[in-house]
Structure 1
Amino acid sequence: MAYAARRPERVSRLILTGAYARGRQIRARDDAEREAAALDLDLARVGWSNQDAGFLQVFASQFLPDGTPRDWEDFTAFQRRTTSPANGVRFLEEFARIDVSGIAHRVSCPTLILHSRDDARVPAAQAGELAALIPDSRLVLLDSRNHLLTASEPAWVEFLSHIDAFLAE
């Protein structure tokens, strides 16, 4: 989003999935939400650093609550292959502090926002906020609880269909 806002001549269309304007630490409205956001990061620091299998399964289930144990194992294996524990924690810290709410209105290209209606990691209300901030955006809520859609769920076909139609316009 920030790139599209800063370099509009370089972005003709933007597709966002599972996105939000303000990270969990930024959007926390009260002490309970701030404590929950801090706890999420503390658990990640300990779990990722120790490569704790229990933490990694809980972490995977936040992204794929309707996933199978095999989906969780694959997600965890992918995380281990693609980043170090320290870098995984840094990503989570940065994502929790993201705030593009002040520049989202500068995104000038057509934007498709796809989000799971019952996303367990990022509430759909966050996608609604994003859609309200970005002019010429279209929000599609998909029938899923997963933050990361899997090819085996019904929402996957709809997800791909919306992307294909948006890019063909």
Structure 2
Amino acid sequence: MRVTVNDNELEVELLGPEGAPVVIACHGAPGLGSRAEPRASFGRLADSYRVLVYDARGSGVSEGKGPFTHEQWAADVEGLREWVGAERVVLAGGSYGGFMAMEYAVRHPDRVLALVLRDTSPDNANEDMARANALATRRVDLDLEKFGRIMDGRTRDDADLKECWREILPLYDHVYDPAKVEEKVEATHYRYETHNWAFTENMPRYDLKDRLPSLTCPVLVTVGRDDWITPVACSETIARLVPHARLVVFEKSGHSPQVEEAEAWTACVRGFLDEVVGAGAPAGRG
């Protein structure tokens, strides 16, 4: 469904029973990601939770009015919380979606029941780690020009973003499957302007380390052992900074344990939420 939030139409899906605790799940990869990934992963919890997934401003099939700042994207999450009518919500996100879940939580701590983070980072230190991991890989021979354009936010148009995405996708999974890579390439919505903004404007300034210790909500941090782009060290930093955060490392996963170890990851997230939120708890109304 189309929902207008802050003068921008977003494509939104609501899954699960009315009245259940609300989970807002943020997708990663601005300009490349969409609601499809959080729908597949958090949709598994829709038997007990009210799950809201959406294409962020400038991604998927949502409208793309700028700016594509963290401030604007966090404000859009707040608009979605108000629209769904929940006083407090669980915020979830993987990769760049984890950046946004944390950005929202430090801005609106009174609105967050719990945080579920996957393969993410508290600052931009992951970028240097990712570059080193990519250059050290023996999996594929990287075209360093394409690699540089996508990492630096210098893609030329949607077609170029597609080719650069194809170049780095082999790095993501624990087990490389060229057929799956090509399937992902063709399934992606490409919005190069959003991607470029995220990596030229937002990432150089991204650093939440000094604000994370103020969080008081329960926090689950999950990560794949072989994650190349937001390595385990990034999740360890989050877990160290956030009081009482829980860290779970999935040993047979790359950047996507919600896919590569789906059953174990889902059981981990469900167990955490059932404990700290309770599937039978009311969502609350604003």
Category of TM-score, reference length = shorter chain? 0.7 to 0.9
Tell me which residue corresponds to 2:192: 85
Q: Which consecutive unaligned segments of at least 5 residues does structure 1 have? A: none
Distance, in Å, in 2 between the alignment partners of 1:76 and 1:2 is: 28
Q: Aligned residue for 1:101?
A: 209
Once the two structures are TM-superposed, the CA of residue 156 in structure 1 deviates from its matched residue by: 1.8
How far did residue 67 of structure 1 move? 4.0
Query: How many angstroms does 1:95 deviate by?
Result: 4.1
C-alpha deviation, 1:69, in angstroms: 1.8
Query: How many aligned residue pairs are there?
Result: 158
Q: Distance in 1 between matches of 2:205 and 2:176?
A: 27
Partner deviation per Cα, 1:9-50 (whole Å, 9 max, x = no partner): 21011000011111147x759xx97xx8xx887321455635
Alpha-carbon contact 2:174-2:252 (below 8 Å) kept = no
Find the counterpart in structure 2 of residue 60 from structure 1. 169
Answer yes or no: is 1:10 the counterpart of 2:117.
no
In structure 2, the partner of 1:112 is 220
Which structure 2 residues correspond to residues 40-55 of structure 1 after superposition, within 5 A?
42-44=148-150, 45=153, 49=157, 50-51=159-160, 55=164
Residues 258 and 266 in structure 2, CA contact (< 8 A), matched pair in contact too: no
Higher relative contact order (CA 8 A, sep 6+): 1
Say what the alpha-carbon RMSD is for the aligned residues: 2.9
Report the identity percentage. 20
Shift of 1:100: 0.7
Inter-partner Cα distance in structure 2 for 1:74 and 1:147: 17
Instruction: List alignment gaps of at least 5 residues for structure 2.
Output: 1-101, 136-144, 276-286
CA distance in 1 between partners of 2:258 and 2:246 (Å): 22
> Which protein shows a greater Rg?
2
Q: 1:48 to 1:60 in 2, by over 3 A?
A: farther
What is the aligned partner in structure 1 of residue 268 from structure 2? 162
**Letter of the structure 2 residue corresponding to residue 105 of structure 1:** P
Alignment of 1:121-136 (within 5 A): 121-136=229-244
**How far apart are 1:86 and its partner, in Å?**
2.0
Distance 1:69 1:95 in 2: 29
Tell me: CA distance 1:6–1:41, structure 2 relative to 1, closer, same or farther (3 Å): farther
Q: Which has the higher helix share?
A: 1
